[in-house]
Chains A and B, each alone.
Chain A
Amino acid sequence: MYCVKCGVKLSDDLTVCPLCQTKVYYNEEQIKANKEKKYPENMPIKNNANKSLASILTMLSMLAITIVLILCYQLYDEIRWGGYAIFSIAVFYCVLVLPLWFKKFNPIVSAVINHTVISLFLLYINLKTDGNWFLSFALPLNIIICINVVLSIILIKYVSKGGYFIAGGIIILIGLSSMLIEFFQHLTFNTRMFIWSGYVISCCAIFGLFLILAGIIKPLKNYLDQKFFI
């Protein structure tokens, strides 16, 4: 069969000319005869999990924790500063090593785990230093950041269109969060309200609205696409 547009002869298994996408029409008998495909369907198995590196880093982390514990008990007969070191290693492990164990690690799960570990670390510091800032400041702050991160991931990962609206929305959300953070700071440390969050909100609002406008105005969007593509 020849392609009427390109003039090339097409092999029997082709139903569309691969050069110009013109459809080729066969009768039923020909279709039956042409069913043999040139390549099979199987794909190579992709293994993105880096288990050897993960196991080395796990062993190193465990070694570091053991050394810290031995040192603390030999020197002071109690954990003392070792707790900070152990929690730091735990945060490092959850952020960097844990994803290596999995082929695909869901970023939302990762964000929640990371923030939980960080919250526990902060709780430990709070208890150790007899501070009264965890429940009224550190925990809400961490939850606000976690919600921001999770929302951003959901918008970026699962909403394919409207990049400018998403970016604008996220930036405005960050601005609003800063006011909430300052409110908890005011509750805990008795500082004045609206000292710094006003600046953050106004900057974020201007930039966020600009991006939303860019999403609405096509020429501006094209100009920005052209200048700042990655």
Chain B
Amino acid sequence: MNKNWYRLDTAALLFPAVMNKNWSNAFRLEATINHEVDPFVLQKAVDDLKVRFPSFYVGLRTGFFWSYLQQMEGTPQVMTDFAYPLTFMSYRELKNCCIRILYYKNRVAVELFHAVTDGTGGNIYLCSLLARYLEIKFEIDIGKSPFVVNHDEPVTAEELEDSFHRYTNNYPASRKESKSYQIKGTKNRSDYYTLITGVIETERLKEVSKNYGCTITAFLTAVMIESLIEMQQQKRFPHLQKHVKVTIPINLRRLYGSKTVRNFVLPLNVGVDPKKGDYSLKDLCNSIASQLNYEITPQNMASKIASNVTPQKNFLLQITPLIFKRLVLGAIYHQSGVLTSCLNISNLGVITLPEEMNPFVERIEFIISPQKNSINNCSVSSYKKHTFININRNIVESELERRFFSKLVELNIPVTIECNRG
């Protein structure tokens, strides 16, 4: 008999423990196609992918010692999209299904609870879903790409593995880190998110980043940190300035060549201490680029993985009931995940689809929900000629977005702004 449940991977252990009645750690990937979505064909495509993505069609269940993912008996039903992205996923919903497949006009969106997979895994699912949808709808054959898997191919064990265990070492890195400045604002009255999307020409962004001698991720992070420094300077006295840090999730598949479709990212905090002096954008770009270069090596990352994997092997921790583990994990998350950075900048990178799909797919976007106690989050994806920068927030004020996008305009990068609330 096939195994119909999965242990949570190392990164996923945290997410059920820290979710609460109003917040669940989820992310969304959406694609805009050149015609109105046919929900029946989409449902057929979703059904066809069940065998290929068994770890995606799951519900979150609670055991005595650990949570686990129980495979669904059927497949998720496609639904019309909601009034705003990433509406709350309740325990009840997650128990049945951790994935939402949504459509609205010519947009297909996939919303995933983070315990199932990360952005890259989710993107492979969305692109494969689109490929299958187009195959059924237009009876065409679609070739291979790093982001599209054929629904007929068998699932490999490597795709379902918890790669953290394979690429760890015996030297756990310390979790100790200085606290970061936190943005504050007036909470939205209900629990909706305001999403501002900046659309930029990728070539222009690449050119400017190159002029500053860094990658697009480092450049955008530097611009964001500059905006955050200005915000802090306006609100706090100079001697009370805190570090300004941003979390960048690092896709470890590129580093180790893993093929897993489950979580395999590690958050990395980068930033500067504004008390040390003024930073120009060039200084920030240099600093962020060198921090990323220094940290992102297989050895350093293996040590960081070890700090998450080693505690799991502790027998006493293993036999501790889940309810107590959740308390400990919640405290660790608050200390080392929430307080040590202002927000996340998650860059999915350039998405390339097989040539047959390009005429049908117009844009692909990546959206992450704000973290539990932070109020903004930023995600980036590039497809065809454009880069989409999504900043999601749960407060009224849009100061960060205004500063960030205005800076890009000042640097001669034209930005087109879209918003989910007109």
Binding site for B on A (CB under 8 A): 3, 6-11, 13-21, 37-44, 46-47
Contacts and interface: CB of A to CB of B under 8 A. Distances in A.
Contact of A44 (B88, B401, B405, B406): B88
Contact of B402 (A11, A19, A42): A19
B82 interface: yes
B87 A44 contact: yes
A9 B417 contact: yes
B239 interface: no
A19 B406 contact: yes
Given A11-B416, A19-B406, A39 B398 contact: no
Contacts of B414: 9
A14 B405 CA distance: 16
Contacts of B194: 18
Contacts of A37: 422
A112 B37 CA distance: 52
B81 interface: yes
Interface in B359-404: 398, 401-402
Contact of B87 (A6, A16, A43): A43
Q: Is the interface of B mostly helix, strand, loop or mixed?
A: mixed
Nearest to A14: B422
A38 B365 CA distance: 14
A49 to B, nearest CB: 10
Contacts of B104: 39-40
Contacts of A41: 83
B196 A9 contact: no
A41 to B, nearest CB: 6
B401 A19 contact: yes
Given A8-B409, A40-B104, A14 B83 contact: no
B59 to A, nearest CB: 15
Given A6-B402, A13-B418, A20-B402, 8 more contacts: A6-B409, A8-B415, A20-B398, A37-B422, A39-B104, A40-B81, A42-B82, A46-B88
B419 A14 contact: yes
B188 interface: no
10 contacts: A3-B417, A7-B406, A9-B414, A18-B417, A37-B422, A39-B420, A40-B80, A42-B83, A43-B82, A44-B87
Contacts of B80: 40, 42
B313 interface: no
Interface residues of B, number: 30
Contacts of A15: 422
A13 B104 CA distance: 16
Contact of A43 (B83, B398, B409, B420): B83
B83 A8 contact: no
Contacts of A20: 398, 402
A24 to B, nearest CB: 10
A2 to B, nearest CB: 10
Nearest to A35: B422
Contacts of B81: 39-40, 42
B90 A46 contact: yes
A9 B194 CA distance: 18
Given A6-B402, A7-B406, A47-B92, A38 B420 contact: yes
Nearest to B401: A19
Contacts of A38: 418, 420, 422
Contact of B418 (A7, A11, A21, A40): A11
B98 to A, nearest CB: 15
A228 B409 CA distance: 43
Given A6-B409, A18-B421, A19-B406, A39 B84 contact: yes
Contacts of B76: none
B274 interface: no
A164 to B, nearest CB: 21
B28 to A, nearest CB: 12
Contacts of A6: 402, 405-406, 409, 417
Nearest to B100: A44
B415 A13 contact: no
B83 A40 contact: yes
B119 interface: no
B198 interface: yes
A6 B414 CA distance: 11
A7 B398 contact: no
B196 A18 contact: yes
Contacts of B410: 7
Nearest to B409: A7
Interface in B295-351: none
B34 to A, nearest CB: 16
A40 B107 CA distance: 11
B422 A8 contact: no
Most buried by B among A6, A19, A42, A46: A19
Contacts of B409: 6-8
A19 B416 contact: no
B273 to A, nearest CB: 27
A6 B407 CA distance: 9
Nearest to A19: B402
Interface in B220-279: none
A17 B198 CA distance: 12
The 6 closest A-B pairs by CB, nearest first: A18-B419, A19-B402, A11-B418, A7-B409, A9-B416, A8-B417
